[in-house]
Amino acid sequence: MDTLRHFKWDILALVAALVVAYLYQGWGAVWLAAILIVVEIVFSFDNAAVNAKYLARMNEFWQRMFLTVGILIAVFGMRLVFPFVIVCVTGGVTPVEAVQLALAKGDPHEPGTYGYLLEQAHPSIAAFGGMFLLLLFLNFLFDPERESTWLSWIEKPLLRIGKLDQLATVTAGVALLLAAELLVEPELRATVLFAGLLGIVVYIAVNGLASVMEDQEAAKEEALEATRAGGAGAQVLLAGKAAFSMFLFLEVLDATFSFDGVIGAFAITPDPIIIALGLGIGALFVRSMTIYLVRRGTLAEYRYLEHGAHWAIGALATLLVLTLAFDIPEIVIGLIGIVFIAAAFVSSVRANRNDTAGIDAELTGLQSGIAGDDGDDTATPGAAASDDSERVG
């Protein structure tokens, strides 16, 4: 019941969107919008898990900002405005012409249509998004301060070499050079290199800003907590500039995750109205899902969920780069992310069960030991009495 209460506004928005879709183009539009909602949620579940990690460190005000202002940016910025911007830049058309092309629909495989122009921007999108997500994954993978591992046979050796400074950036740069050399035609290499380099720069800039502001705010909060009674051990939640910089980081991260969903939507329908309805409602559910994971403490309860989310990011980054040369269905990209998340969830449940069994075994052994000690104490007087009787006899 609590879960339904948490998603009540999302459910109301879902019903309203499906009604709008029906009034717009009948049951066919309702069906397409429903498919896009499911696709967006499936594609972005790993995004919710990763966002929850960062959102848990922000105070309640900034969590609300993430759900209100942030969702406006996500829906209107990435799911509606962003495709128009891409069409304007890559197609050399004005915003008015882009809107006219979008409303005219047309076959996305036909030159000059809205979907076709958006598809032509795919190399830039794949390179930028792939490098941004790859750096996020590599920084997690090479983090020497990370205490736990999930796929230990891979992660432990990488943690050891992760002590090398800037290894993640160097690895991403090498991956970009190889992708530009091996996966694209010569005339597209400059485009891919520029877009990929831009993705690396944006990640370093936004993540660096977030880290600096986060450290400053954490130092202030720790000093404040130290002066408060009972403040020892309290969690430091980000506020002010640190939370704002983290908010910007999450918005860029969400935008990067949205690339494949926006492109994939045109494989289902070229209609921008239906795309906005489907992806927008899907994004709203993903935002609420992120808050749900934070407030229920799901990431803390399931220890490997964060690992699975980052491995899903790594898989998405790899597949985005591979789409420079290969036609990989969007459903495959989405399902691979879900597989990693599901595997991490199962591993977490199994680990929790083993921990519980170990604790039960220890308690049972302790109780047996106590019972044995009590038995020995009671047996001693009887044994002494027997010895005394034998001596008397």
Q: What is the pLDDT of residues 275-306, one digit of tens each?
A: 888 888 888 887 777 777 777 766 566 778 77
Model confidence over 145-164: pLDDT tens digits?
777 888 888 888 888 887 77
Query: 118 versus 275: which is more confidently predicted?
Result: 275
Q: Mean pLDDT throughout 89-117?
A: 76
The answer, yes or no, to whether residue 191 has pLDDT greater than 70, is yes
Which 3 state secondary structure label does DSSP give 58?
A: strand
Task: Judge contact between 233 and 77, C-beta under 8 A.
Answer: no
Q: Residue 169: enclosing H or E segment and its boundaries?
A: helix 167-182
The CA distance from 270 to 87, in Å, is 13
Domain span at 243: 2-365
Distances (CA, A) of 310 to 75, 340, 350: 24, 9, 20
Segments in 227-304 forming alpha helices (H):
240-268, 272-295, 298-301
Closest among 342, 314, 269, 240 to 34, alpha carbons compared: 269
Structure tokens at 311: 């491995």
Structure tokens at 375: 């038995």
What pLDDT does residue 306 have?
75
The end-to-end CA distance of the chain, in Å, is 77
Half-sphere exposure of 336 (CA within 13 A, CB side): 16
Query: Residue 237 domain-assigned?
Result: yes
Query: 72 versus 137: which is more confidently predicted?
Result: 137
Q: Which residue has the tokens 């400059």?
A: 190
What pLDDT does residue 177 have?
94
Most confident listed range (16-20, 30-34, 60-64, 371-375): 16-20
Query: Residue 380 domain-assigned?
Result: no
What pLDDT does residue 208 have?
76
The CA distance from 142 to 148, in Å, is 12
Long-range contacts, 97-106 (Cβ 8 Å, 24+): 102/270, 102/272, 103/272, 105/270, 105/271, 106/270
Query: Residue 381 domain-assigned?
Result: no
Q: Mean pLDDT throughout 330-357?
A: 80
Query: 296 versus 192: which is more confidently predicted?
Result: 192
What pLDDT does residue 104 have?
76
Closest among 42, 66, 79, 102 to 329, alpha carbons compared: 42
Task: Judge contact between 133 and 322, C-beta under 8 A.
Answer: no
Query: Residue 388 domain-assigned?
Result: no
% pLDDT > 70, the chain: 72
Distances (CA, A) of 135 to 128, 142, 210, 230: 11, 10, 15, 39
Query: 205 versus 182: which is more confidently predicted?
Result: 182
Contacts of residue 247, defined as CB under 8 A and 6 or more positions apart, other chains included, come to: 58, 62, 65, 66, 70
Give the pLDDT band (50/70/90) at residue 384: very low
CA 46, chain centre distance (Å): 4
Query: What is the pTM assigned to this prediction?
Result: 0.66
Interhelix angle 330-392/27-55, rounded to 10 degrees, is: 50
Tell me the chain's radius of gyration from C-alpha atoms. Answer: 27
Task: Judge contact between 47 and 285, C-beta under 8 A.
Answer: no
Give the pLDDT band (50/70/90) at residue 389: very low
Task: Judge contact between 166 and 311, C-beta under 8 A.
Answer: no
Query: Residue 108 domain-assigned?
Result: yes
Contacts of residue 126, defined as CB under 8 A and 6 or more positions apart, other chains included, come to: 259, 320, 321, 323, 324
Number of domains composing the chain: 1
The CA distance from 125 to 194, in Å, is 11
**How many helices, marked H, and strands, marked E, lie in the chain?**
17, 0
Which 3 state secondary structure label does DSSP give 238?
A: strand
Structure tokens at 21: 């879709």
Query: Residue 236 domain-assigned?
Result: yes
